[in-house]
A and B are shown apart, each in its own frame.
Chain A
Amino acid sequence: MSLADLMPLRLPPAWRWAGEWMWRVEHAFERARAAGRPQDDARLRIFVVAVVFALVFLVLAIGAAHSALSGPTQRVDALATPGARGDLVDRNGALLAVDLKHWGLYVDPREVWDTAGTRAALTAALPDLPPKRIDKALAGEKRTYLAGGLTPEAKDRLFALGLPGLIFEPEERRVYPLGSTAAHLIGFSDTGGVGVAGAERALGDQLHKTAGGGQVPLAIDVRVQAVLEEELGKAVAEFQPIGAVGLVTNVRTGEILGLANWPDFDPNKPGAGGPGPQKNLAAASVYEMGSTFKAFTVAIGLDTGVATPQSTFDARQPFQLGYRTIHDYHAARKILSLVEVFQHSSNIGTAKLAESIGAQRLQKYFDGMGLTKRAKVDLVESASPLTPRKWDMDAVASTSFGHGMNVTPLALAGAYGAVLNGGRHVPLTIRKRAPGAKVDGPRVFSEATSAEMLKIMRANVADPIGSGGKADAPGLSVGGKTGTGEKYDPAIRGYSTTRQVSSFAAVFPTEGAIGDDRYFVLILLDEPKPSAATYGYATGGWVAAPAAGRVIDRIAGYLGVPRRFAPPAPTPASTLAAAPAEPLGGGL
């Protein structure tokens, strides 16, 4: 029998081994005493204790040497401070938002020797700081936070004054080096590093995870954005609207390549212009879009088999549908084919087509295109649409040409994507997708319908009778649809004839395979004023189409869209060398 036998069986094996070992040692002592050598008993006990101590010290020494030589295994990054965020960059790596080390200024009045001198120096160095605040800090009895966000230069200037009692603490500040460029898409964050709007808010978690030098690429291309803002700015200067939106998206991937709003703001000083300019009109404002909706009605008519491009519609007389009598803005007063209905932007023809489609199918397709819910996009600002309460014939008539339903420009872009990309509703995104990524989405239209719509939209720009001729760009096979939605005026309980939302929805190139990259461009002006150059018109074809055309003309190169011209007639080499009538390449 041993001590181990007396130990409870439920003890773990290690404890049982230790118990047995103790028992053997104790037994050795017993044997030494029994053999009449009690001095060996004491020495043995001392030896065992000494060995145990030596082992413990040895372990401690090895551990101490190891920890001393190896150092900390995990580095703490100096930039990973609370509230820190990763950088935002565009699809080509251009910096959009970055955390930079700034300095917070504190004053400890207990250490200030010369109060008057310190007050004067601070007032001169920080002219934006209210003098009362400086006085209050200097008159206090404890350390007080005086100003934050000092740049290294500003901090150095103050530090060089050598004033006792001024204390500087490092702090991270979000900086937007491009200023107002893409301000609504980038958004901004508060001083605590919490995103308030735009990508800063939508991608907050990802930005926090990449804090300390990591980057989050957005889908936008700064070059495209710059062109969009410049051309939108020119249109704003010419037509003096109360608001304006510009959008460029890739209809295959849903990527937002450019998003411009007017008025804009500087995210470095987001509150400077009041809350108005901060509103992202593209995502958070809903409009009755007007005739740009006719592309949807025509596409639905084709997809359901209700109509073909050659189907005819009698537009000679106003059309009564539901409670509405529908007139044409540009009355053709003739029988129009479906393509002509689109080109003349005939309300009568579109309403007759919608009547044939029926309320149920129209609503189903609108649901599929995402027009009846808030646009699927990362931006939390995305607003819900205003849709008809009841899908009766009155609603069918109105919505078929873009009235009676208010959607955001982003929702319009998403729906146009489904019409133009082969028929799938691909959610819009502000994130960059991997090159060549295959993006899927629920099918809304057939590929044949989508291909037919590209041809019809091209015809609306290329054909002299089309409403979008001013948007054409050489060699880029631009297609598009004008839109002029009269605004509802509560004062007259009806639609105003002078206040309207004028827009142009364009796509390029309309040529090429249906699965190719293709780009959607929207220019929208809210309440544009006519000018002499537009002969008193403020419709989409006059105020928005030219801007859309200029944008397309300038961004095609950035997007890698080649210009394709009809091949010239074969010319003998001898005559070519002799004297070509028109120098190709403009004399390059």
Chain B
Amino acid sequence: MSVSGIFTQRVRGFRVVEVVALGLLAVTILGVYLAKTMAGSERARIAALESSIADEKARIRLLDAEVAYLERPRRVSRLAETYLGLKPVDAKREATVETLAVVAATPVSLPKPAAAPQPAASQAAAPQAVTQ
């Protein structure tokens, strides 16, 4: 088909070139409409997610600051002394891995453990020990 034929050939009274151009136009309009519609909803979702992330980040920063505030050394020290009676560790109570064997071999004055429970048979034989 010659170049001029594109303009002269007709289908059901319409020039081919016009039908093709109209079709292209319709496809383009539909494509742009669909693209923008889908993109708009996606963009709104992305914006909502980003806003949510920003809010969460701000919340995390607020909580981090709150933790740092509550863990102020002066506060922790005061609470530890007031409620737990804790004090800085004395150097004499420090040990290294190398000295553990020596420490383990050292008798310590621990409180005496409670008397072991008596077997049932002996309990019967010595009821006083249980009732006292």
**Is A585 a contact partner of B91 (Cβ separation < 8 A)?**
no
Q: Which of A226, A475, A562 contacts B73 (CB 8 A)?
A: A226
Q: How far is the CA of A58 from the CA of B27 in the complex (A)?
A: 11
Q: Which residue of chain A has the shortest Cβ distance to B51 in the bound complex?
A: A78
Which stretch from A63-71, A423-431, A518-526 is at the chain B interface?
Answer: A63-71
**Is A585 a contact partner of B72 (Cβ separation < 8 A)?**
no
**Is A101 a contact partner of B74 (Cβ separation < 8 A)?**
no
Q: Which residue of chain A has the shortest Cβ distance to B27 in the bound complex?
A: A61
Q: How far is the CA of A47 from the CA of B7 in the complex (A)?
A: 9
**Is B92 a contact partner of A586 (Cβ separation < 8 A)?**
yes
Q: Does A44 contact B (CB under 8 A)?
A: yes
Q: Does A583 contact B (CB under 8 A)?
A: yes
Q: How far is the CA of A554 from the CA of B109 in the complex (A)?
A: 26
Query: Knowing A64-B36, A178-B72 touch, does A473 contact B3 (C-beta < 8 A)?
Result: no
Contact flags B92-113 to A (C-beta < 8 A → 1, else 0): 1111100100110111110000
Q: Which residue of chain B has the shortest Cβ distance to A225 in the bound complex?
A: B73
CB distance from B18 to the nearest CB of A (A): 10
Which chain B residues border A54 with CB–CB below 8 Å? 21, 24
CB distance from A237 to the nearest CB of B (A): 14
Which stretch from A92-100, A110-118, A137-145, A338-346 is at the chain B interface?
Answer: A92-100
Q: Does B69 contact A (CB under 8 A)?
A: yes
Q: Which of A61, A68, A563 contacts B94 (CB 8 A)?
A: A563
Contact flags B118-132 to A (C-beta < 8 A → 1, else 0): 000000000000000
**Is B109 a contact partner of A587 (Cβ separation < 8 A)?**
yes
**Is A586 a contact partner of B109 (Cβ separation < 8 A)?**
no
Which chain B residues border A177 with CB–CB below 8 Å? 65-66, 68-69, 72
**Is A587 a contact partner of B69 (Cβ separation < 8 A)?**
no
Which chain B residues border A223 with CB–CB below 8 Å? 73
Contact flags B60-85 to A (C-beta < 8 A → 1, else 0): 01101111110111100100000000
**Is A95 a contact partner of B103 (Cβ separation < 8 A)?**
no
Q: Does A386 contact B (CB under 8 A)?
A: no
Task: Give the A interface residue count (CB, 8 A).
Answer: 56
Query: Knowing A71-B46, A230-B77 touch, does A588 contact B32 (C-beta < 8 A)?
Result: no
**Is B108 a contact partner of A583 (Cβ separation < 8 A)?**
yes
**Is B65 a contact partner of A98 (Cβ separation < 8 A)?**
yes
Q: Which of B39, B43, B68, B102 contacts A576 (CB 8 A)?
A: B102
Which chain B residues border A79 with CB–CB below 8 Å? 54, 57-58
Contact flags A22-62 to B (C-beta < 8 A → 1, else 0): 00000000000000000010011011001000100110010
List residues of chain A with CB under 8 Å of any chain B CB. Answer: 40, 43-44, 46-47, 50, 54, 57-58, 61, 64-65, 68-69, 71, 75, 78-79, 94-96, 98-101, 152, 175, 177-179, 181, 213, 222-223, 225-226, 229-230, 473-475, 553-554, 557, 562-563, 576-577, 579-580, 583-588
Closest 7 CB pairs of A and B: A226-B73, A177-B68, A586-B92, A68-B39, A585-B103, A95-B68, A78-B54
List residues of chain B with CB under 8 Å of any chain A CB. Answer: 3-4, 6-7, 17, 21, 24, 28, 31-32, 35-36, 38-40, 42-43, 46, 50-51, 54, 57-58, 61-62, 64-69, 71-74, 77, 88-96, 99, 102-103, 105-109
